Structure 1
Amino acid sequence: MTIRQTLFCGAAFGIAGLALSAVPASAEEGMWTFDAFPTAKVRKDLGWAPDKAWLDTVRASAVRLTGGCSASVVSPQGLVLTNHHCVIACVQDLSTDKADYVQAGFTARSREDERKCPGQQAEIVTAITDVTPQVKAAIGTATGEALVRAEIAAIARIESGNCTDGATQRCQVIKLYGGGQYKLYSYRKYSDVRLVFAPEFKAAFFGGDPDNFNFPRYALDVGFLRLYENGRPIAAESHLRWNPAAPKEGDATFVVGNPGSTQRLFTQDQFALRRDVIFPLTVPLMSEYRGRLIAAMAGDKERTRTGADTLFGIENGYKVYVGQWQALRDPGFSGTLAANEARLRAAVAKEAGLRGRIGDPWANVAKADAAYRDFYADFYLLEANAGYGSTLYGYAEALVRAATEREKPDAERLPGYSSSRLALLEKQLTDEKPVYPWLEELTLSFWLSKTREILTVDNPDVKRMLGKESPEALAERLVSGSRLADPKVRKRLFDGGMAAIRASDDPLIRFFLINDERGRALSRRYDREVGGQITAAQAKLATARFAVYGDSIYPDATFSLRISYGRVKGWTYRGTAVPPFTYIGGLYDRATGAEPFEAAPKWLAAQGRIAKDTVYDYVTTNDIIGGNSGSPVIARDGSVIGAAFDGNIHSIGGSYGYDAALNRTVVVSSAAITEALKTVYDAGSLLKELSGG
């Protein structure tokens, strides 16, 4: 996990009969907030709906992980269920060339063996409060950059005023409907999160990139963590009951988690910006970076070990972004998006009073996006994605900006540096985790070379960054001379504030200081010409949707707690029926002995003992997106029956819409997890805890 994180959000192509949240949600569509759960709709669609007690228990058991994943508490001792790909960064950080837990797996045989995950924090929602009036009153009639600053100041005041215990609380104001609503989410946070169990990578990601976003699947994508406080496992106030039985076809399922980001409420101009400007820049970059990584790792055992997690993330993100881009270029898909916008516009046009209240927000968005096209590449390369995910660059940025922002009043700081958010930032900065110089040099030289190529050699920002050095030489000098890999150095710089930053001779600190003002200037331009304008327009669009569709419209995903409902159900595509289940025996049939279809040695050793008729993975109609990884899949009786870990290829379009006929959530079953813990991993104590013993 790095300071600068990118959430890869799912999206899809080949969608027919698309439903969007710009119109009332169709059956099984929706990532609903807990304070606006559609009880009547669920009862109509499923014939039953959970009551308040059911919802309260589930909400109090749901966990948000700061690495961009979801999870759930599944025992009174704070045991947490999530995905392997949600803990792989921790597994990688704890591994060495002598003990490679990514390849060998990790099983804590006792509490003393459980290992702390660097930079990880777990958060459980304790309250949701509507603060829309306070934020909108602060914004008033402001526009552009003034609107953004007023919004930031109001949010900072609300967050700091409602969380007085920084050690155990976190407050976050979540913007919904693009600015139509603001909700204060209060969290009970746990900063000591420890690894309990992770299978081998070959078992968790069997099938590799070819099987990613596909089904049938045979993946044990599961991980277990534990929440600690004051050096001891917590006594959980709420937890989900483990159910070792697999569901049956047609059974109702609920997915509770934190979907990362969707764009279902976007306008046609916003979709066009992504199709014509954003993806043509970002997709080729990801492809080339992936190629450079693979070439650098080829034939080098240590680089292969230390770069595997980065490559995994890039390959996943590349597949998603390509899918999103294809979706927006598909005539049928884009035609449905356009038709839904036209339907809303027509409804607004019929209501003179509504039209008079909102004006023409579509035109305002179009104007903002036209401005953004002029400087998107500069903003992306020099600010929004500067460093291209380099851990050391992320440290330099966070240290410099934390020092700068802490000298300002809370309400005037950049987002992410308010007092309510500094505790997590400090944790991520000062926790010890490995840094790999070869990977840092490769990443920084890639970013610098592509920035020079895209912005051109004569660009003044490029000249200021590179001087007379080549991208490769500059990257080597910055990485080899920096001491930011040492958490003690980072701690001294963080504690020392601006005086320590100014006195530092660390080349990465000096390099970031040279470029910081340009990045800030681009951010201010974005706020002035784009962000503030779009927030104002989206608030008006929200007013229009509420007036036309009432409360049947759910907000776009924002990496905040949501619940979706569905059923265990396969699908039919181009005349071929896809059954909803796979079974453990299918793993051995699919295994070829060669990557990525090479079965893990422990699974091969257990082949004669394991129950091959156990449901391994299954699919449901639940509406999810990236960020839902690790979400518990919950049965009608409130028990957990698996963990969501993927979507099928059609669900990649979930960023823009939902198709009940094709979109599917892919789940690793609790039945398979139970069987694997018993037969493959001899994890008796973990099984006993799950069963309540």
Structure 2
Amino acid sequence: MSSRFLVAAASVLGLSLAAMPAAPAKAEEGMWTFDNFPIQTVNDLYGTRIDQAWLDKVRGAAVRINGCSASLVSGQGLVLTNHHCVISCVNDLSDAQNDYVKNGWMPATREEERQCPGQTAEILTDIVDVTDRVLAAGEGLEGAAFVQARGAVQQAIQTENCNNDPKLTCQVISFYRGGRYALYKFRKYDDVRLAFAPEFQAAFFGGDPDNFNFPRYALDAGFLRLYENGRPVSTPNHLTWNANAPTEGEPVFVAGNPGSTSRLLTVSQLERLRDQTMPINLIQSSELRGRLQQYSFTSEEAGRISVDPIFGLENSFKVFYGQEQTLTDAAFMATKREQEAELRARVAADPALAQRIGDPWGDLTRIEAQAADLFLPYRQLEASAGQRSALYGFARTIVRASKERAKPVAERRAGYSDADLATLGRRLATVAPIETDLEQIYLTFWLSKTREYLTVDNADVQRLLGRESPEALASRLVEGTRLADPARRAELLAMTPEQLAASGDPLIEFVLRNDDVAQAVRASWEATVSGPTARAAEKVAQARFAAFGDNQYPDATFSLRLSYGQVKGWTYRGTEVPAFTYMGGLYERATGSQPFLLAEQFAAREADVNKQTVYDFVSTNDIIGGNSGSPVINARGEVIGAAFDGNIHSLGGAFGYDGELNRTVTVSTAAITEALRNVYRQPRLLEELGVE
């Protein structure tokens, strides 16, 4: 459910992935870019009349927010997304006296809408192919030099096109594992305010047992609003709100930002994912969840502030479990080997192509063997350093920015231009609550796991801990730092490395003491793994294009995509699962105990609710994590729901698509309208949405 829905396959859960083809997408499969959407295929399949103007309108109404997707639904900057995409904002606006997570956020007037700390919203305006320029930058280079050259040219393209304008975001995105590159240019909004959020229990009714399942009875919806210069943004290009439920078999489209898929990985890459990465992800997410749950029982306030972190970890654990089950399924891996063998045979049958690309599969096998040796130090000291600690993140960001700023501009790493540093300063100035108890849990967990995995006698571990225990060190760092104060962060960001060393901040000093080693580990990873992998993956992509043509969709990269499908249930082992649930089913499913406890206002106003209203529905759209909050749109370009989950079979999303079983789960605009009208009594929002 959630933006952490980084979904993978789970054949143990009933996926029939053995039928997945090596090349062109089957009907309803694919997360397509807007500049390569199969318009004619869709129109032929459904009898629709989708055209470029339709695509342009949908693209201009789609919104990317932090970790999630959303859409404009009024001319006054009103944005529809999922509740679980705004719960961190709801939590930030809450305190011990006002628990808006529990009670909902329902301002009576627009003037009472409050800014979500750190939230941004981006709307895609331009897509420009930059493949030739990016590929040329790496010619003749290997390893870290290759990575740095590619990073430098991408940074240059971004700077040239956004010209340091804080209202714009420019991002060069890799597609097809390096086969194509495109510049995505966005209009950016930094003032994003919370306009409405229901009670948490209404949004997440059924809790973890219902997560990745259907039927569902969840009002997983929330509204944000875009502001600029203190006023709501005028957004004439928005989706029209349709308060009617869809019908069985109706064509529907999902426009959003799927986070990450691994459908184009080679067998050797999948094997290391199975043997090394997934087991550690499972172990660590499970143990950290236990620590947070234990903490949540210590007080009512502890329970409040740990709701979102626990929810995220529970969601991640279920996803990782699905990933591991698939990657350990012999039939699934056999199919992947067959597909890879077919592609390699096609390359071998074309001598010119074979000479041009060589043997990238063999290269990747060797790279993965080296990656296995480097992975644990890289993960613990660099990639996952600090675990989820915001304070550690601030400290490392400040230290690295200071180091890079001291270099000539031409020698800085990508992401540290003067414009980037200015953006960084604005981000660090964001006021957001820091929960010190959680910070100590995160840092203690990271330090203890690093000591466990790398061993007590490891020199880098000894440098991290000195003579302190993980618990004592985490406590000293969190209690002693002033990085929770945005003003102090701004002061530290302006300092040189020498000034930082003399600042007296224990967390800054801790990062300074260990950062050279962490960056050396990263440099080794780039030289040995990420650089050579990028080079080999490009060649695999060239092989795919040569064998199957350009009519393919790329792996997900948290960039705007459009999927197509139809409203449709499914049948599994003789059991038919209908496409719809109804609001009356909520009351029938309620038991009076968690997680099937009615939200207070739903219970209080049961007599006012039209129980025949479609609540949630499923469709055959191909989505994955990052699609949370995506508008579900009918063929007329009207929004009819917000996607918030997949069914249990869709845990195959990272590795393949099964049209018989994979389903997107959506909260309907019909249910949102009914709740706004008869449960939460929000006439101003209904009027803005054009609902009588």
Is residue 2:555 matched to residue 1:563? no
Structure-to-structure mapping, 1:278-427, within 5 angstroms = 278-410=277-409, 412-427=411-426
Greater mean deviation of Cα atoms: 119-128 or 425-434: 425-434
Aligned partner of 2:180 in structure 1 is 181
Give the whole-Å Cα distance in 2 for the aligned partners of 1:423 and 1:85.
Answer: 30
Give the whole-Å Cα distance in 2 for the aligned partners of 1:618 and 1:93.
Answer: 31
Give the whole-Å Cα distance in 2 for the aligned partners of 1:497 and 1:53.
Answer: 51
Aligned partner of 1:145 in structure 2 is 144
Give the whole-Å Cα distance in 2 for the aligned partners of 1:498 and 1:665.
Answer: 49
Structure-to-structure mapping, 1:249-288, within 5 angstroms = 249-288=248-287
> What secondary structure does 2:319 align onto?
helix
Aligned partner of 1:13 in structure 2 is 10
Aligned partner of 1:643 in structure 2 is 642
Counterpart contact for 1:160–1:419, Cα < 8 Å: no
Give the whole-Å Cα distance in 2 for the aligned partners of 1:22 and 1:523.
Answer: 33
Give the whole-Å Cα distance in 2 for the aligned partners of 1:50 and 1:575.
Answer: 36
1:39 is displaced (CA, Å) by 1.6
1:652 is displaced (CA, Å) by 1.2
Note closer, same or farther for the CA distance 1:546–1:584 as it changes in structure 2 (3 Å cut): same
Aligned-residue Cα RMSD (Å) equals 1.6
Note closer, same or farther for the CA distance 1:22–1:416 as it changes in structure 2 (3 Å cut): farther
Is residue 2:59 matched to residue 1:62? no
Q: 1:650-690, CA deviations, whole angstroms, 9 ceiling, x for partnerless residues? A: 11110111110111100000000000000000000001001
Note closer, same or farther for the CA distance 1:414–1:216 as it changes in structure 2 (3 Å cut): farther
TM-score by length of 1: 0.97
> What secondary structure does 1:107 align onto?
coil
Letter in 2 for 1:267: T
1:452 is displaced (CA, Å) by 0.7
Letter in 2 for 1:546: F
Give the whole-Å Cα distance in 2 for the aligned partners of 1:420 and 1:626.
Answer: 30
Give the whole-Å Cα distance in 2 for the aligned partners of 1:400 and 1:384.
Answer: 16
Aligned partner of 2:242 in structure 1 is 243
Give the whole-Å Cα distance in 2 for the aligned partners of 1:142 and 1:676.
Answer: 58
Give the whole-Å Cα distance in 2 for the aligned partners of 1:265 and 1:423.
Answer: 36
Structure-to-structure mapping, 1:668-687, within 5 angstroms = 668-687=667-686
Letter in 1 for 2:53: A
Q: 1:73-124, CA deviations, whole angstroms, 9 ceiling, x for partnerless residues? A: 1100000000001001111111100111101100121111000000111000
Is residue 2:127 matched to residue 1:136? no
Aligned partner of 2:53 in structure 1 is 53
1:40 is displaced (CA, Å) by 2.5
Q: 1:627-667, CA deviations, whole angstroms, 9 ceiling, x for partnerless residues? A: 00000000000000000000011111101111101111000
Q: 1:284-336, CA deviations, whole angstroms, 9 ceiling, x for partnerless residues? A: 11101111111111141111111111111111111111111111111222222
Give the whole-Å Cα distance in 1 for the aligned partners of 2:21 and 2:199.
Answer: 39
Greater mean deviation of Cα atoms: 118-127 or 294-303: 294-303
> What secondary structure does 1:564 align onto?
strand
> What secondary structure does 1:602 align onto?
helix
Counterpart contact for 1:404–1:498, Cα < 8 Å: yes
Greater mean deviation of Cα atoms: 582-591 or 162-171: 162-171
Is residue 2:117 matched to residue 1:125? no
TM-score by length of 2: 0.97
Aligned partner of 1:33 in structure 2 is 33
Give the whole-Å Cα distance in 1 for the aligned partners of 2:406 and 2:109.
Answer: 45
Letter in 2 for 1:227: L
Counterpart contact for 2:3–2:628, Cα < 8 Å: no
1:438 is displaced (CA, Å) by 1.1
Letter in 1 for 2:574: G
Give the whole-Å Cα distance in 1 for the aligned partners of 2:494 and 2:641.
Answer: 43
Give the whole-Å Cα distance in 2 for the aligned partners of 1:431 and 1:33.
Answer: 32
Letter in 2 for 1:460: A
Structure 2, unmatched stretches of 5+, are: none
> What secondary structure does 2:443 align onto?
helix
Count of residues paired in the alignment:
688
Give the whole-Å Cα distance in 2 for the aligned partners of 1:412 and 1:554.
Answer: 36
Letter in 2 for 1:36: N
Give the whole-Å Cα distance in 2 for the aligned partners of 1:553 and 1:22.
Answer: 11
Structure 1, unmatched stretches of 5+, are: none
> What secondary structure does 2:653 align onto?
helix
Counterpart contact for 2:172–2:183, Cα < 8 Å: yes
> What secondary structure does 2:529 align onto?
helix
1:503 is displaced (CA, Å) by 3.1
Give the whole-Å Cα distance in 2 for the aligned partners of 1:497 and 1:193.
Answer: 33
Counterpart contact for 1:20–1:656, Cα < 8 Å: no
Give the whole-Å Cα distance in 2 for the aligned partners of 1:19 and 1:136.
Answer: 34
Q: 1:527-559, CA deviations, whole angstroms, 9 ceiling, x for partnerless residues? A: 101111111111111111111111222111000
Kindly report structure 1 stretches of 4+ aligned residues shifted beyond 6 Å: none
Give the whole-Å Cα distance in 2 for the aligned partners of 1:337 and 1:349.
Answer: 18
Give the whole-Å Cα distance in 2 for the aligned partners of 1:166 and 1:31.
Answer: 30
1:340 is displaced (CA, Å) by 1.6
Give the whole-Å Cα distance in 1 for the aligned partners of 2:412 and 2:584.
Answer: 56
> What secondary structure does 1:119 align onto?
coil
Letter in 1 for 2:534: T
Note closer, same or farther for the CA distance 1:422–1:657 as it changes in structure 2 (3 Å cut): farther
Note closer, same or farther for the CA distance 1:467–1:623 as it changes in structure 2 (3 Å cut): same
1:446 is displaced (CA, Å) by 0.9
Aligned partner of 2:228 in structure 1 is 229
Counterpart contact for 1:429–1:490, Cα < 8 Å: yes
Give the whole-Å Cα distance in 1 for the aligned partners of 2:489 and 2:428.
Answer: 7
> What secondary structure does 1:106 align onto?
coil
Give the whole-Å Cα distance in 1 for the aligned partners of 2:451 and 2:595.
Answer: 36
Give the whole-Å Cα distance in 2 for the aligned partners of 1:79 and 1:160.
Answer: 30
1:45 is displaced (CA, Å) by 2.5
Note closer, same or farther for the CA distance 1:418–1:692 as it changes in structure 2 (3 Å cut): farther
1:515 is displaced (CA, Å) by 1.0
> What secondary structure does 1:108 align onto?
coil
Give the whole-Å Cα distance in 1 for the aligned partners of 2:508 and 2:441.
Answer: 19
